[in-house]
């Protein structure tokens, strides 16, 4: 009974990010300063649930395929909401937004093509972690700047804050280049492993025929 409850709690945490991300994006981009302030509350819940669901699933031993899918979709929902929010608020080109999102679509397509990707991903874990860390740093910086502006917490001159934002905007372009570089490396790792599997299977078939 306790395990079943834990299963529901973890899946609700993962699935809730899909809805919460949409609410966050609506509030964050609303012209009302009050709604923009409220969006911070939802952003904190989204990232807290992302930290908790995986940890609780392992602690309570309630990992499942459904939970894995919900966690992945929830992560993508929050990721897309953050990208759309940052690109819109900081007036970044929509093409950048499109290229960042389509990269994830391409990654999921690769996972569909290579059914053993969950085993092969061990070879690309370092690249994946580096990508995730860079993404979180960019999110942290831009959201920190935007909420300083929203809450009027000006420890530095607003003009200087705007200058810092404009200077650091190229971080998005660096992140974009790195994201596609990591995608290329992951693709190569999947293809190499797939060819090795194919070669092994071919040798086994030949030996049986002999």
What are the phi and psi torsion angles at 62 (to 5°)? -120, 30
pLDDT in tens, the chain (210 residues): 557 788 888 999 999 999 999 999 999 999 999 999 999 999 999 999 988 888 888 888 888 888 888 888 998 899 999 999 999 999 888 898 999 899 988 888 887 777 666 655 566 667 777 777 888 888 999 999 899 889 988 776 777 778 888 888 888 888 899 889 888 888 887 777 666 654 454 444 444 444
Q: Which residue segment(s) compose the domain that 182 sits in?
A: 92-196
Do 74 and 44 belong to one domain?
A: yes
What long-range pairs does 203-210 form, CB within 8 A, spacing at least 24? none
Q: Give the total number of structural domains in the chain.
A: 2
Residue 30 lies in a domain: yes
Do 82 and 117 belong to one domain?
A: no
Do 192 and 145 belong to one domain?
A: yes
Residue 9 lies in a domain: yes
Do 58 and 75 belong to one domain?
A: yes
Residue 19 lies in a domain: yes
Do 162 and 105 belong to one domain?
A: yes
pLDDT at 192: 76
- Give CA–CA dist 60/39, Å, rounded: 31
Q: What is the CA radius of gyration of the chain?
A: 21
pLDDT at 195: 65
Q: CB count, 10 Å around CB of 169?
A: 14
Cβ(156)–Cβ(42) below 8 Å: no
Residue 203 lies in a domain: no
Do 75 and 62 belong to one domain?
A: yes
């Amino acid at each position: 009974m306790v395990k079943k409850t834990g299963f529901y709690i973890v899946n609700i945490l993962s699935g809730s990010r899909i809805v919460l991300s949409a609410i966050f994006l609506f509030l964050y981009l609303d012209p009302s300063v009050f709604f923009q302030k409220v969006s911070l509350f939802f952003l904190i819940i989204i990232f807290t649930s992302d930290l908790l669901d995986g940890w609780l699933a392992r602690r309570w031993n309630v990992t499942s395929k459904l939970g894995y899918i919900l966690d992945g979709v929830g992560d993508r929902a929050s990721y897309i909401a953050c990208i759309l929010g940052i690109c819109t608020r900081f007036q970044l080109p929509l093409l950048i937004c499109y290229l960042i999102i389509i990269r994830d679509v391409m990654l999921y397509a690769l996972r569909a093509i290579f059914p053993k990707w969950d085993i092969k991903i061990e070879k690309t874990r370092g690249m994946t972690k580096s990508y995730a860390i860079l993404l979180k740093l960019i999110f942290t910086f831009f959201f920190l700047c935007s909420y300083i502006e929203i809450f009027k917490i000006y420890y530095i001159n607003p003009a200087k804050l705007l200058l810092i934002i404009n200077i650091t905007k190229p971080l998005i372009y660096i992140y974009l280049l790195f994201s596609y570089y990591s995608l290329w490396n992951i693709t190569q790792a999947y293809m190499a492993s797939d060819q090795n599997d194919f070669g092994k299977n071919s040798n086994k078939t030949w030996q049986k025929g002999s």
